[in-house]
Structure 1
Amino acid sequence: MNDLPVLVSFDAGVATLTLNRPETGNTINMDMAQALLQAAIRCDTDGAIRCVVLTGSGRLFCAGGDLSSFADAGTNVAAFLSQLAGTLHMAVSRLMRMRKPLVVLANGPAAGAGLSLALAGDIVLAAPNAHFTAAYGAVGLSPDGGMSWLLPRLVGMRKAQQMIISNRRVGADEAAEIGLVSHVVSAEELTSEGMKQASLLASGATGAIGAARALLLDSYGDSFEGHLDREARSISALGTTDESREGIAAFLEKRRPDFIGMQRAQTDKA
């Protein structure tokens, strides 16, 4: 079995990142954090990648930080945690800020930073056996990976307080009800349904999707009028792109837009 901490594969414009420490529940150590950052940078900068899928190997999606590595750091634990969290945060930021969609397949339980990674997806599909736990308070720590920013925005402050402060576990069905995940999908169909969703997104107007991702993310820090200006500037800029011209032409000609073929033609010209 491949012993790389993050497996990366590519198919038809979709990059799949698989957390690959199944013997530890895909817990995050420094090697995994660095590998995830490298993969996220590639996904962000490679124009041939049009959608990214993030999942885990084995029974768990991700059980959070590797506590044994915390203990091994001894008296240097503060510096170690700063470096580990900082590396993970650069990876999360890349995945959140890249101009292409992210699909998360929660193939099993997610805890700690694993929950944070699940929250980062635009579409999050969960297997029925998945459950979600903040877990930090149980080991005397506070959240990282963006959890304390993302969770209340997805599920509301009261439910976020229950999960983070009270360490309440949320099952897959409840996670879908409260908006923590998009859908619950059978374990047998999770990968196929996830790749179906990713293929649909990869065939779409990724430039427009990327701009929408940025607007949604920036909306939390904007005034309403300031965000109206961002929207106006964004739609104006997109109106001059080949994607927009192809999309409008396809609509008027009553055909499906071919954004992938358009990108391929641009690459051939270059």
Structure 2
Amino acid sequence: MTDSPHVSAADGVLTIAISSPANGTSLNGDAVDEAIVALTELHSGARDERVILLVGAGKNFCAGGNVAAFAAAADRPAYLGGLAERLHRLITLIDTAGRPVVIAAKGWAAGAGMSLTLIGDVVVGGPSTKMRPAYSGIGLSPDGGMTWSLPRVVGPARARAIILTNRILSAQNALELGLVSELVDDEQVDARAREIAAELAAGPSGALQATAALLRAAPTASLADQLAAEAASIARLSGQPEGIEGVDAFVQKRAPNWR
């Protein structure tokens, strides 16, 4: 288990720099591949980070795919299909990792960048944050799960309007629609997201991972299934060291020691 140019780990946080300053802060294919390796290790137990943090390496979180590379591809359908498969592999690994996901959504989150923000549990933005589906602007349909995720966040009618009209969402729009969790000064977006990720990593990791898993399962679960899953989860956690410590610390009127 080693860090790579676009993936690093510290204090229980796995950080993925999903875009690069080059090519208009577009989605970085190398970062996607490196993240897939790291997340596969996380799933297998070879890594033990407790929180996933997605950031942009340039002025934007991610301004979408590298359209110039699309145009230069000898076989565009094969090229775009391969990119979508890798992006979807990344998103699936994040979604099934059972870890809280924090996103530093500074500047533009467009196209695939907007799709990636939709998998965040906590999304930090700034006044200059803007989101846009972008796909129809280049004659394409969405990928990255946007047509699945956005309706579940903002509702089907709003999602249809946003995607079909290629609407630009300001930071305030994104906050009001629930696409962004909080807004801070632009220069503080990365720092605030890292602060939140570190706080989560220092907390009761078992409880937070179980909660993240429940939240991700909820959209496609029936109420009865979700109630059963919640009952099983809280019962299991009550017999784990963190659950025992948390309850005992509360009764004893002291701060819990999660480590």
Number of equivalences: 255
Cross-structure match for 2:72: 72
Q: Which amino acid aligns with 2:214?
A: L
Secondary structure at 2:128 match in 1: coil
Give 1:118's aligned residue.
117
- 1:31 maps to 30
Partner of 2:15: 16
- Secondary structure at the counterpart of residue 193 of structure 1: helix
One-letter amino acid matched to 2:65: G
Matching residue of 1:90: 89
* Cα distance between partner residues in 2 of 1:42 and 1:109: 30
Offset of residue 29 of structure 1:
5.2
Task: Give the match's secondary structure for 1:189.
Answer: helix
| Distance in 2 separating the partners of 1:70 and 1:39 | 26
Task: Name the counterpart of 2:238.
Answer: 239
In the alignment, what sits opposite 2:256? 257
Name 1:52's counterpart in structure 2: 52
Q: In the alignment, is the contact (CA less than 8 A) between 1:207 and 1:243 conserved in 2?
A: yes
Q: Name the counterpart of 1:171.
A: 170
For normalisation by structure 2, the TM-score amounts to: 0.91
Post-superposition CA distance 1:82-111 (Å, at most 9, x none): 221111111111112212211100121011
Instruction: Report if the CA contact (8 A) 1:55-1:106 is conserved.
Output: yes
Paired residue for 1:61?
61
What are the Cα deviations for residues 102-141 of structure 1, in whole angstroms up to 9, with x where unaligned? 1100121011000011111110001211100001111111
Structure 2 runs not aligned, ≥5 long: none
Q: What SS does the corresponding residue of 2:6 show, helix, strand or coil?
A: strand
Q: In structure 2, how many angstroms separate the alpha carbons of the residues matched to 1:124 and 1:195?
A: 11
Aligned residue for 1:23, secondary structure, equals: coil
Q: 2 CA distance for matches of 1:35 and 1:48? A: 17
Could you tell me the percent identity over the aligned residues? 38
Is 1:145 matched with 2:144? Answer: yes
Query: Secondary structure in 1 aligned to 2:246?
Result: helix
Superposition RMSD on alpha carbons, in Å?
1.8
Q: Deviations over 1:159-196 (max 9, x none)?
A: 21121111000011111011011011102222232222
Paired position in structure 2 for 1:156: 155
Q: TM-score normalised to the size of structure 1?
A: 0.87
Deviation at 1:55, TM superposition (A): 0.8
Question: Cα distance 1:219–1:86, how it changes in 2: closer, same or farther (>3 A)?
Answer: same
Does structure 2 conserve the Cα–Cα contact (< 8 Å) formed by 1:15 and 1:43? no
Can you give the 5+ residue segments of structure 1 that lack an aligned partner in the other structure?
262-270
State the alpha-carbon separation in 1 of the partners of residues 47 and 127 from structure 2: 34
Separation of aligned partners in 2, 1:190 and 1:165:
29
2-side partners of 1:47 and 1:257: how far apart? Answer: 25
Residue 188 of structure 1 corresponds to 187
> 1:103–1:124: 8 Å Cα contact kept in structure 2?
yes
Deviation at 1:27, TM superposition (A): 1.6
Does the residue aligned with 1:192 lie in a helix, a strand or coil?
helix
Give the superposition deviation at 1:43. 4.6
